[in-house]
């Protein structure tokens, strides 16, 4: 499966940013083996451009996207989760890609306990324990670009605008010019391959 394309190179990359919660003595749920600690306001993006294939993998605490991490029980919470899921289902509006590159979405996978996916924490019915659960949202997109030579950058400004609680995104890029890691913010939202 193409997911290996993302998993292997990123396992070899050094971390670009030191993580503030390394001394945290809580036992957190880190969805699908993500790098670093669960930190509100901070998301991670892996971007791989290989030939005409562009893969984007976003991993974010749910707090950044929906404003909470508990299971949606009220109608308002359920509506918020549904609205965020609908936004995440449209990667071409969340990530600014050059129109000349002709990128079209092939596949996507969205994962989160908030979307009804099984939580990775154990469910023993202890309400206190669940009130402290950290939920992440993962989004994996595979796109095909008819003219990948025109894809020189990815603009994350639409992502920051859609989810204003996201203060920075740590990006790992692999493209025709090699690999690099960098930090983006709403004021510095463009990354180049």
Please tell me the pTM assigned to this model: 0.76
Phi-psi region of 42 (alpha: psi -120 to 50; beta: other; left: phi over 0): beta
- The separation between CA 99 and the C-alpha centre of its own chain, rounded to angstroms, equals 22
pLDDT digits (tens, 9 = 90+) for 77-87: 999 999 999 99
pLDDT digits (tens, 9 = 90+) for 122-171: 344 433 344 456 799 999 999 999 999 999 999 999 999 999 999 999 99
Which of the four pLDDT bands, split at 50, 70 and 90, describes residue 188?
very high
Portion of the chain with pLDDT greater than 70, in percent: 73
Please give the helix or strand (H or E) that residue 33 lies within, else none: none
- The separation between CA 43 and the C-alpha centre of its own chain, rounded to angstroms, equals 6
Which of the four pLDDT bands, split at 50, 70 and 90, describes residue 118?
low
What Rg do the C-alpha atoms of the chain give, in angstroms? 17
Range in 20-34, 121-135, 169-183 the model is least confident about: 20-34
Asked whether the beta carbons of 162 and 87 are under 8 A apart, the reply is yes
Q: What is the mean pLDDT of the chain?
A: 81
Instruction: Please provide residue 75's backbone torsions phi and psi, each rounded to the nearest 5 degrees.
Output: -60, -40
């Amino acid at each position: 499966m193409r997911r290996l394309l993302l998993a292997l190179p990123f396992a070899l990359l050094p971390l670009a940013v030191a993580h503030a919660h390394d001394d945290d003595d809580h036992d957190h749920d880190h969805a699908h083996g993500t790098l670093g600690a669960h930190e509100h306001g901070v998301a991670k993006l892996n971007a791989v451009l290989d030939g005409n294939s562009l893969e984007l993998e976003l991993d974010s605490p749910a707090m950044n996207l929906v404003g909470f991490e508990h299971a949606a029980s009220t109608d308002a919470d359920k509506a918020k989760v549904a609205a965020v899921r609908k936004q995440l289902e449209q990667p071409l509006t969340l990530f600014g890609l050059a129109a000349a590159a002709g990128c079209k979405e092939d596949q996507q996978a969205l994962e989160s306990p908030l979307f009804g996916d099984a939580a990775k924490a154990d469910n023993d019915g202890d309400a206190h324990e669940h009130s402290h659960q950290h939920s992440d949202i993962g989004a994996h997109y595979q796109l095909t670009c008819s003219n990948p030579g025109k894809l020189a950058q990815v603009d994350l400004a639409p992502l920051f605008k859609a989810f204003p609680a996201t203060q920075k995104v740590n990006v790992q890029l692999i493209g025709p010019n090699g690999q690099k890691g960098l930090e983006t913010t709403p004021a510095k939202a463009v990354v180049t391959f």
